[in-house]
Structure 1
Amino acid sequence: MATDSIVSPACTGSSLLQPISDIINLPLDQVNFVVCQLCAVLTAFWFRVYLHPSTTSPFTRHVVATLLGLYFALFCFGWYALHFLVQSGLTYGIMILAGVEHMHKYCLVVALGYLSFCQITRVYVFDYGMYSADFTGPMMVITQKITSLAFEIHDGMARKEQHLTPGQKILAIRRMPSLLEYFSYNCNFMGILAGPTCSYNDYIAFIEGGTCGHRDIMETNRKASRKLRQSEPSPNMVVVRKLCTCILSLLVFLSVCKVFPVERNIDPAFISATPFHQRVVYLYLSMLTTRPKYYFVWTLADAINNAAGFGFNGYGPDGSPRWDMISNLRIMNIEFATSFKVFLDNWNIQTAHWLKRVCYERCPYHPTAATFILSAMWHGAYPGYYLTFLTGTVITLAARAVRHNVRPYFLHSATHKLLYDIMTWAATQIAICYTVVPFVLLSVGPSLQFYRSWYCSIHVGCVLLAVALPVKPRHLRVQEQRKGDPSQPAQHCHIEDAGSKYSQKTKAS
């Protein structure tokens, strides 16, 4: 099937790379995205070396980062990139005019509402089920940045210090950003296409040459600046490793994604002719092959930021530099996760941080339910997203009940613990696959067809487990866990606590 006949109507970006798209038989918008991200890697190296904060003013670095970001956006999305400016401009106007007392609420409503409007029109007016020229992807990251910044300004300028959590104190912003700083934060070339989200304070510290996690700015003395520059760890090796991970992920995705199509899980002929245990194995393989594309996109985005010198997170126990401050996933922890919580802890990490800081920590009523609803709204207008998050809620409750009631019986010997880990790994992987099938299929009909083919067995089982097994309050679970298994960290919300994270990072640095 000819590629141009598929993608030409949907791709609104540059057609300069159409010959390459035809040769490799990939949609033009995907080719544009990959080429722009690879160009961003090279640009990031140049940005770090030739526009280093010791020799370049913050104004210049802001201007260059913003203009490059807008150019990449125009190349990939054409005039749809104007939505990035409109969304950012509207919310900046609200920040200036509404006042710090209530502007965080207005910004959340406007930014999320504008994103939802664009998602709904793209899905139900233009190309339902197609991802070509999906300009709402970058808008999702910009929405995170806009809302995070609004809440951090509110914390720093409208709330009293004693009312803030340790994490909120560190992230709080004490002055209103300038228009240039605001657009640079939202639309810089390092993160405009695929993120990841970062805190405003960390980004400004990177631009101005300070220490990430603080607002300490470098001394103006040039000798001190040169000395600091010489002491900076080089990101070159970690960028090379991450680029190798990207290449491997891309090769795996392109070679096996068509071998195990997810749609076969709802094929009546496949369901009737295949024993259930083989369908379970196929479900795992089909969902496993969808993950490498996320590994590719998020790892490449992380490498771009690292190449520019952004993302340094202190030193590890062995003295090696860590470049994972804004990493979005930990692949090995995902593939070998032994619980639903561990999987979520290591998947889309920055989005999890955003959900906690904007919603979970602040919602006075039913914060868990509110967080799931916000996450579903942020992801988009496809019904499959909501089915995924509803299923995830039930499985989370059941997994918590099983861990609290069953796990202590397997901690008395290493053999029993290994057996428990193997069983929970298998159960976690199948539960994850079962949960995210609607996320891939998108529509209600195919999603319900899949669940019916499994007789909604995991739904029913999880509800029964959640009802039958008691779960004590959180503070009691933490105390018992520490007494029974000191090697295990305390349980907490699946999003890492910002205060402890930055405190540890400060000490390490």
Structure 2
Amino acid sequence: MGWLQLFFLHPVSLYQGAAFPFALLFNYLCNMDSFSTNARYLFLLAGGGALALTAMGSFAVLVFIPALCAVVLIYSLGPQEVHRRTFFFQMTWQTLCHLGLHYTEYYLQEPPSTRFYITLSSLMLLTQRVTSLSLDICEGKVDAASGGIRSRSFLPEHLCKALPYFSYLLFFPALLGGPLCSFQRFQARVQGSSSLYPRHSFWALTWRGLQILGLEGLKAVLTGVVSAGVGLADCQQLQCIYVMWSTAGLFKLTYYSHWLLDDSLLCAAGFGFELGQSPGEEGYIPDADIWTLETTHRISLFTRRWNQSTARWLRRLIFQHSKAWPLLQTFAFSAWWHGLHPGQVFGFLCWAVMVEADYLIHTFANLFIRSWPLRLLYRTLTWAHTQLIIAYIMLAVEARSLSFLWLLCNSYNSIFPMIYCILLLLLAKRKYKFN
């Protein structure tokens, strides 16, 4: 199973931590009038290049090439063509890189390099920024210098105009992680003065640091518990439910800690929630909303709040442009974006079915459950069921392999998604009769 996918986040955290002094330095330099806009773009770009080479080694070329090609396409195509072509190129390149991982893992039966995992993660984040920028250009939110390459301007002038795009695609606070930052927000931050006040930044970053330490402590305890217990291959009957829940908890704690660190790095550089937003632009939303994720009794709400910036990006990129089966298309694309491993395909399609069932179940429950004791009991049961279904999906997606997926599907854990599938079929028929 692909436990390396979980624990490769530790090297990423080290690289993100090493980037903190440079993020604070950038924030400090933005207060100086002598630090020009182009110098800021170059600082972020150089930092991204240095971080990529340090974290990925020679694999960094797999990130530099699509970034360069994306800028060339954005700079040379018209607003109506740019999104379709950049999307096609970026997803083709990313898919080829993921197929290289498939070849190494499944055909050669060799463990891939940790640097290659980091490269793929960075490439997925690059896809977010490329498609977000191309959508902004297509929708008229960003004015692109289309047709620039065909003009007779000098090369330095071309490079100067393309610098903001290069810098946005490779700027170091978002290279290895973090919520998706729109190009408008990025440009407003670089062109404006520093908005991160020292007192506020100190307390905000201190609070995030304490949260990360708390999560790391919980993760250390849970790691010991999971390591000391049996695995899914050796568990028996109802014991498998505990194994699934505890293992998924370890995954969640790792992601929460990683997201908070990424968010802290962006805020240290001044790209956080303190930055004012342009009219019509959606505000800054951190990826980790731990309270909602751990207390909600609705799978649909969990889905919207899990890795929030990515969920918002998928909604804009796929869901809002799908004419038929938008939910299924969104989750299918998410499986493609993640790499199309067997567990990911199964997990994301299962997730789509669970969200559809969640809508129907709660719609009918709100109609028929009136008294508060029954509502309290209903919320308690659906909260537990939601957490167990999410744990089931998470193990399928993270483990990825067919062998582990077979173990998961043949365990008692499959009862929980099966209940929602049965309710979906029953309530769908009843909804059809009502209509």
**TM-score after normalising by structure 1:** 0.73
Query: Which letter does structure 2 place at the counterpart of 1:151?
Result: L
Alignment correspondent of 1:236 = 202
- 1:195 maps to amino acid: G
| Deviation at residue 293 of structure 1 after TM alignment | 1.1
Name stretches of at least 5 consecutive residues in structure 2 with no aligned partner: 147-160, 277-282
Distance of aligned partners of 1:31 and 1:419 in 2 relative to their CA distance in 1, 3 Å threshold = closer
Q: Which amino acid aligns with 2:290?
A: I
Question: Do 1:384 and 1:440's aligned partners in 2 also have CA atoms closer than 8 Å?
Answer: yes
Q: Deviations over 1:440-481 (max 9, x none)?
A: 2211122122111238433432222112114769xx99xxxx
Secondary structure, aligned partner of 2:79:
coil
Distance 1:182 1:297, change over 3 A: same
Counterparts of 1:106-505 in structure 2, within 5 Å, are 106-125=85-104, 132-133=114-115, 134=117, 135-156=119-140, 172-176=141-145, 178-209=161-192, 234-260=200-226, 264-267=230-233, 269-271=234-236, 275-276=237-238, 278-312=239-273, 325-413=284-372, 415-454=373-412, 456-470=414-428
Show CA shifts across 1:133-177 (max 9, x none).
211001100001001111110111xxxxxxxxxxxxxxx212339
Note the alpha carbon deviations across 1:58-77, whole angstroms, 9 max, x for none.
11111001101111111111
Q: 2:18 — aligned with what?
A: 39
Is the 2:79–2:144 Cα contact (8 Å) retained in structure 1?
no
Unaligned runs of 5+ in 1: 1-9, 11-25, 157-171, 210-224, 316-323, 478-509
1:312 is paired with a residue whose SS is coil
Shift of 1:366: 2.4
The 1:264/1:140 distance shift into structure 2, 3 A limit, reads: farther
RCO greater where, 1 or 2, for CA within 8 Å and sep 6 or more?
2
CA contact (8 A) 2:41 2:163 kept: yes
SS at 1:194 equivalent? coil
How is 1:10-159 mapped onto 2 (pairs within 5 angstroms)?
A: 32-52=11-31, 56-125=35-104, 132-133=114-115, 134=117, 135-156=119-140
Q: How far, CA to CA, are the matches of 1:466 and 1:386 in structure 2? A: 20
Match of 1:318 in 2: none
Amino acid in the other structure paired with 2:392: Y
Q: Which whole-Å CA distance do the structure 2 matches of 1:263 and 1:374 have between them?
A: 35
Using the TM superposition, give the Cα deviation of residue 202 of structure 1 relative to its aligned residue in structure 2, in angstroms: 0.7
Q: Distance in 1 between matches of 2:49 and 2:328?
A: 36
Whole-angstrom CA distance in 1 between matches of 2:308 and 2:196: 31
For the structure 1 residues 265 and 465, does the alpha-carbon distance in structure 2 shift closer, same or farther, using more than 3 Å as the test?
farther
RMSD: 2.9
Residues 136, 193 of structure 1: alpha-carbon distance in 2 compared, 3 angstrom cutoff? same
Q: CA deviation at 1:408?
A: 3.5
Q: Normalising to structure 2: TM-score of the pair?
A: 0.85
Once residues 230 and 113 of structure 1 are traced to their aligned partners in structure 2, the CA distance between those partners, rounded to angstroms, is: 39
Residues 309 and 112 (structure 1), Cα distance of their counterparts in 2 relative to 1, 3 Å cut = same
User: What is residue 22 of structure 1 aligned with on the other side?
Assistant: none
Measure the CA separation in 2 of the matches of 1:314 and 1:238: 14
The structure where helix makes up a greater share of residues is 2
Separation in structure 2 between the aligned mates of residue 229 and residue 238 of structure 1, nearest angstrom = 14
Question: What is the aligned partner in structure 1 of residue 280 from structure 2?
Answer: none
- Counterpart residue type for residue 315 of structure 2: K
Structure 1: distance between partners of 2:187 and 2:431: 43
Residues 83/314 of structure 1: CA separation in 2 closer, same or farther (3 Å cut): closer
Quote the offset at 1:47 in angstroms: 1.3
Amino acid at match of 1:387: F
Q: In structure 2, how many angstroms separate the alpha carbons of the residues matched to 1:230 and 1:47?
A: 11
1:498 is matched with which residue?
A: none
Deviates more, 1:124-133 or 1:92-101: 124-133
Does 80-89 or 91-100 show the bigger shift?
91-100
Given that 2:201 and 2:268 are in contact with CA atoms closer than 8 Å, whether structure 1 keeps it comes out as yes
Aligned residues: 404
What code does the residue aligned with 1:186 have? L
Structure 1 residue 116, shift from structure 2 partner: 1.1
Aligned identity (percent) is 23
Relative to structure 1, is the Cα distance of residues 181 and 49 closer, same or farther in structure 2, using a 3 angstrom cutoff?
same
* Change in 2 beyond 3 A, CA 1:362/1:313: farther
Distance 1:122 1:467 in 2: 37
Q: What's the CA shift for 1:99?
A: 2.3
Question: Could you tell me whether the CA contact under 8 Å between 2:83 and 2:134 is conserved in 1?
Answer: yes
CA distance in 2, matches of 1:430, 1:231: 42
Q: Aligned letter for 2:144?
A: R
**Contact 1:340/1:396, CA 8 A, preserved across alignment:** yes
Residue pair 2:343, 2:405 contacting (<8 A) in 1 also: yes
Residue deviations 1:46-65 (CA, integer Å, cap 9, x gap): 21112337552211111001
The whole-number CA distance in structure 1 between the counterparts of 2:287 and 2:195 is: 27
SS at match of 2:94: helix
| 1:376 Cα offset (Å) | 0.6
Question: SS at 1:101's partner residue?
Answer: helix
- With over 3 angstroms needed to count, the CA separation of the structure-2 counterparts of 1:263 and 1:32, relative to structure 1, is same
